[in-house]
């Protein structure tokens, strides 16, 4: 699964709020906590068997060329159901990126944790997860749940001073939450609402949380909008937020549904391997990055330019004793992660093959070390000996280069389909379906499929079987989270 990671980087001051440090009476922090607790009905939150918290997040994905404001951006819906008194949780997401859906759920109960991947209906047992370490992010994203934490950790709370925030007077309080740096919150003097929180993560990162557009739901004030900033850069905007307490339909939220089976054993990809998959073809790599080397009479062509290409080229040369020059390096698409090894390839004198929309980025990349590198743009297709390199449009990217080696029937691609398991069928997601459609247009008869993300070669029939079994409705198990899901936005 290609999860969407948000990195929080570097340090800077934020939002220019004005501190007015006042001499506080000793019981001032208790008065503020009382005000917050009354406003958010913390008694009720503390008695709840389940608290369901729903939201829709908008992420920016620059790699997918989204450029408009956050309201138009890629959507991730999240549904969290928490039993905070028993540290049970169900945290589910459904993400739509470039018309593909990713759907998963983490579950915690009785000190154990699991992760469910809905496309193949597999569950993985998670190792030693700390409840606050993992679900603290959910608590921090809701001001109501934060109010509950403040009340329950009141012994750790300290009054800092008064501050203006968005033109309103606030009190600033700091308190402790397990497995987190201290939380600094701003509480509105007039209403007891939490408007803002920040915490210093690591040496230099300020992560800031904004809670706004309050409305009352189920008797509790809920910030309809919420944003998280890392050092002043907005990481996402969250909208359409709902809080539901003790809903009967959430009673079984911490169970794993019948028919969800343990994930089969994965192929061990931890060591660098050089594997011959056909005459003149070697698949080389480790962890998440692989390159396929195809040798011809004139030289070697490589597909798969993820980071670490120089190591893979060296392993290939050492283990095969093939010392023909690298003539061509195929960069599959415009995503930075799939071209990071191109500078290594360019420095050997190889010609880089790119899609038109990857050209700018590849030029910028090689300018750092091989400004004279040869770059060739493939609009449709080109042949290098027995190898055909073709440009196809899929859900993964508008243009992707794939390669087909006719004599061996080897088809090479990345980011659409991987052979993941030792003794079980691999599953397809939406990009694989669109790749299959694109390849059907060619007069090719593949026998073997390789991925620049995984070690094992698979039969083409396994790919086609997985594609045919993919459920295009993307509402697995008719889960609440995918009901009323906007299509095609
Ligand atoms: Zn890509």
| CATH code, 349 | 3.60.15.10
Q: How far is the CA of 121 from the centre of ligand 1 (A)?
A: 25
CA of 448 to the centre of ligand 1 (A): 21
Residue 38 lies in a domain: yes
Beta partners for residue 234, in sequence order? 229
Q: What is the pLDDT of residue 27?
A: 87
Distance in Å, CA 23 to ligand 1 centroid: 56
Q: What is the CA(63)–ligand 1 centre distance, in A?
A: 8
Determine the Cα–Cα distance for residues 304 and 285; give it in Å rounded to an integer. Answer: 10
Distance 338 CA to ligand 1 centre (A): 6
What is the separation of C-alpha 302 from the centre of its chain, rounded to a whole number of angstroms? 28
Q: Confirm whether 125 is domain-assigned.
A: yes
d(CA 78, CA 278): 44
d(CA 240, CA 164): 27
Output the CA 369–ligand 1 centroid distance in Å: 23
> How long is the chain?
489
* Ligand 1 centroid from CA 286, angstroms: 18
Termini Cα distance of the chain: 22
CB atoms within 10 A of CB 475: 17
Distance 478 CA to ligand 1 centre (A): 30
For the chain, 489 residues long, give each residue's pLDDT as a single digit of tens: 333 333 333 333 334 444 444 555 568 999 999 999 999 999 999 999 999 999 998 876 554 444 434 444 568 899 999 999 999 999 999 887 656 678 899 999 999 999 999 888 999 999 878 999 999 999 999 999 999 999 999 999 999 999 999 999 999 999 999 999 999 999 999 999 999 999 999 888 999 999 999 999 999 999 999 999 999 888 888 999 999 999 999 999 999 999 999 999 999 999 999 999 999 999 999 999 999 999 988 899 999 999 999 999 999 999 999 999 999 999 999 998 999 999 999 999 999 999 999 999 999 999 989 999 999 999 999 999 999 999 999 888 889 999 999 999 999 999 999 999 999 999 998 889 999 999 999 999 999 999 999 999 999 999 999 999 987 666 778 889 988 765 443
Count of helix runs (H) and strand runs (E) in the chain? 9, 28
Last residue of a domain, one of 214, 232, 262: 262
- Please give the biggest Cα pair distance in the chain: 85
Output the pLDDT for position 11. 32
d(CA 170, CA 205): 23
Q: How far is CA 98 from CA 28, 66, 301, 463, in A?
A: 51, 10, 30, 21
13 located within any domain: no
Q: How much distance in Å is there from the Cα of 397 to the middle of ligand 1? A: 6
Are 410 and 404 within 8 A, CB to CB?
yes
> In terms of domains, do 252 and 308 share one?
no
**pTM of the complete model:** 0.79
pLDDT at 100: 65
Distance from Cα 61 to the centre of ligand 1, integer Å: 12
Query: Ligand 1 centroid to 359 CA: how many Å?
Result: 14
Q: Is the same domain home to 277 and 258?
A: no
Q: Under a CB-based contact definition with an 8 Å cutoff, are residues 71 and 59 in contact?
A: no
Q: Contact 197/150 with Cβ under 8 angstroms?
A: no
Of residues 352, 359, 421, 426, the one with CA closest to residue 389? 352
- Residues linked to residue 328 through DSSP beta bridges, in sequence order: 301, 351
Ligand 1 center–CA 420 separation, angstroms: 18
Ligand 1 center from residue 391 Cα (angstroms): 13
Ligand 1 centroid from CA 336, angstroms:
8
Q: How do beta strands 220-230 and 233-245 pair? A: antiparallel
Q: How far is CA 258 from CA 90, 243, 253, 261, 471, in A?
A: 16, 27, 13, 8, 18
Among 262, 282, 305, the domain-final residue is: 262
Question: Is 239 inside a domain boundary?
Answer: yes
Answer yes or no: do 185 and 285 share one domain: no
Q: For residues 296 and 375, state if they share a domain.
A: yes
Task: Give the residue numbers spanning the domain of 147.
Answer: 31-262
Residue 351 Cα to ligand 1 midpoint, Å, equals 20
With beta carbons less than 8 A apart as the criterion, state whether 470 and 464 touch: no
Tell whether 24 is covered by a domain: no
In a domain, 2, yes or no: no
Same domain, residue pair 403 and 425:
yes
* Cα 472 to middle of ligand 1, angstroms: 21
Strand, helix or coil for residue 337: helix
If one counts the domains in the chain, the total is 2
Query: Do residues 270 and 288 lie in contact, with contact meaning Cβ atoms separated by under 8 Å?
Result: no
User: What backbone torsions phi and psi does residue 135 show, to the nearest 5 degrees?
Assistant: -95, 0
* 174 lies in some domain: yes
Residues with CB under 5 A from ligand 1 (ion): 333, 335, 338, 415
Nearest CA-CA partner of 486 in 475, 471, 477: 475
Ligand 1: distance of its center to the CA of 207 in Å? Answer: 29
């Amino acid at each position: 699964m290609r999860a969407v990671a948000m990195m929080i980087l570097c340090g800077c001051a934020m939002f220019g709020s004005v501190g007015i440090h006042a001499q506080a009476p000793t019981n001032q922090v208790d008065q503020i906590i009382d005000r917050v607790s009354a406003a958010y009905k913390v008694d009720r939150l503390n008695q709840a068997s389940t608290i369901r918290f729903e939201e829709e997040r908008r992420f920016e994905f620059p790699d997918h060329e989204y450029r408009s404001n956050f309201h138009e951006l890629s959507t991730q819906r999240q549904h969290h159901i928490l039993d905070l008194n028993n540290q049970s949780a169900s945290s589910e997401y459904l993400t739509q990126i470039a018309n593909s859906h990713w759907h998963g759920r983490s579950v915690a109960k009785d000190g154990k944790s699991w992760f469910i991947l809905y496309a193949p209906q597999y569950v993985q047992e998670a190792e030693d997860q700390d409840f606050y370490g993992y679900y603290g992010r959910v608590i921090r994203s809701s001001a109501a749940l934060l109010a509950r934490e403040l009340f329950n950790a009141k012994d750790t709370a300290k009054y800092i001073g008064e501050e203006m925030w968005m033109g309103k007077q606030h009190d600033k309080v700091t308190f402790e939450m397990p497995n987190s740096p201290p939380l600094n919150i701003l509480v509105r003097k007039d209403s007891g609402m939490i408007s803002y929180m920040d915490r210093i993560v690591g040496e230099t990162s300020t992560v800031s949380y904004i809670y706004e557009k309050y409305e009352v739901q189920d008797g509790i004030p809920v910030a309809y909008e919420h944003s998280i900033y890392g050092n002043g850069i907005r990481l996402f905007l969250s909208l359409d937020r709902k809080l539901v307490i003790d809903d009967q339909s959430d009673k079984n939220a911490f169970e794993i549904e019948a028919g969800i089976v343990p994930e089969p054993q994965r192929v061990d990809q931890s060591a660098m391997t050089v594997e011959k998959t056909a005459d003149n073809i070697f698949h080389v790599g480790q962890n998440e990055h692989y390159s396929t080397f195809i040798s011809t009479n004139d030289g070697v062509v490589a597909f798969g330019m993820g980071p670490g290409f120089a190591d893979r080229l060296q392993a290939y040369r050492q283990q095969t004793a093939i010392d023909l020059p690298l003539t061509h390096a195929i960069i599959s698409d415009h995503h930075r992660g799939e071209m990071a090894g191109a500078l290594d390839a360019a420095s050997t004198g190889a010609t880089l093959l790119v899609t038109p929309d990857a050209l700018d980025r590849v030029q910028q990349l090689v300018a750092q070390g091989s400004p004279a590198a040869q770059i060739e743009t493939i609009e449709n297709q080109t042949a290098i000996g027995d190898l055909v390199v073709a440009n196809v449009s899929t859900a993964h990217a508008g243009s992707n280069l794939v390669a087909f080696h006719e004599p061996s029937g080897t088809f090479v691609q990345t980011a659409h389909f991987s052979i993941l398991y030792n003794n079980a069928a691999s599953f397809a997601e939406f990009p694989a379906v669109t790749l299959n459609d694109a390849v059907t247009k060619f007069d090719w008869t593949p026998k073997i499929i390789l991925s620049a993300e995984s070690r094992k070669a698979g039969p083409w029939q396994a790919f086609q079987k997985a594609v045919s079994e993919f459920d295009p409705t993307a509402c697995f198990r008719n889960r609440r989270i995918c009901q009323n899901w906007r299509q095609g936005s």
